Amino acid sequence: ILNVEQSPQSLHVQEGDSTNFTCSFPSSNFYALHWYRWETAKSPEALFVMTLNGDEKKKGRISATLNTKEGYSYLYIKGSQPEDSATYLCASNSGGYQKVTFGTGTKLQVIP
Amino acid sequence: NAGVTQTPKFQVLKTGQSMTLQCAQDMNHNSMYWYRQDPGMGLRLIYYSASEGTTDKGEVPNGYNVSRLNKREFSLRLESAAPSQTSVYFCASSPGTSGSLGTDTQYFGPGTRLTVL
């Protein structure tokens, strides 16, 4: 079982602040890294999937980068808004392309 | 277009009882998955099905069985429920087959909250 680790576990930021969090994963046999956004009482929804070293993806104020050589990805949120409050999950299938392993998530709360 | 649906939403069982969680998707996806989510732990894969007629074990398959009834439906069965199976269960689907599971985006259902007393 490969370990996908996310940090921090939770954080609180003020509205308007920018923030970022980390996902680390085994770099061997890497296939893809996914980011999902999971609002309370809802289901996880996909944000990004990245496959190549150096990949950068952006959706509005949210962006992500990927370093497959060292096994980490960063998720950035610029100018956080209360509606960004959610748990952000990353998932990797470094252990083999048929199984995806999820991290435990970073819970973000944006304070108005 | 309902996406991924799950029934029931909530269930309470006594130890030793059996039940089946139902999942259906209307997106013509080839792959389907069952996860459980416990406090402090990530989503853990129980079983998955890369195509109609095939199923494979995930990380935590013990105590569960699955059936890929057709392309739309993937059910999870607890034959003899135990308190350790108290969890929230999520079904998901993705477009690809076994060759593309790693890059596929997964679409999740609303979850079933199961309590085993």
Of A43, A49, A93, the CB nearest to B105: A49
Name the band, by pLDDT with cuts 50, 70 and 90, for residue B97: low
- Summarised one tens digit per residue, pLDDT across range A48-85 is 999 999 999 999 999 999 999 999 999 999 999 999 99
Of A51, A99, A103, the CB nearest to B58: A99
- Of B67, B54, B58, the closest CA to residue B24 belongs to B67
Structure tokens at A57: 């993806």
Q: What pLDDT shows up at residue A97?
A: 54
Mean pLDDT of B2-6: 92
- Summarised one tens digit per residue, pLDDT across range A1-11 is 468 999 999 99
Asked if pLDDT for residue B91 goes beyond 70, the answer is yes
Contact B59 A102 (CB under 8 A): no
Q: What pLDDT shows up at residue A26?
A: 87
Contact A93 B101 (CB under 8 A): yes
Nearest-Cα residue of chain A relative to residue B38: A104
Rounded Cα–Cα distance for residues A107 and A91 (Å): 15
Rounded Cα–Cα distance for residues B48 and B56 (Å): 5
Q: What pLDDT shows up at residue B14?
A: 97
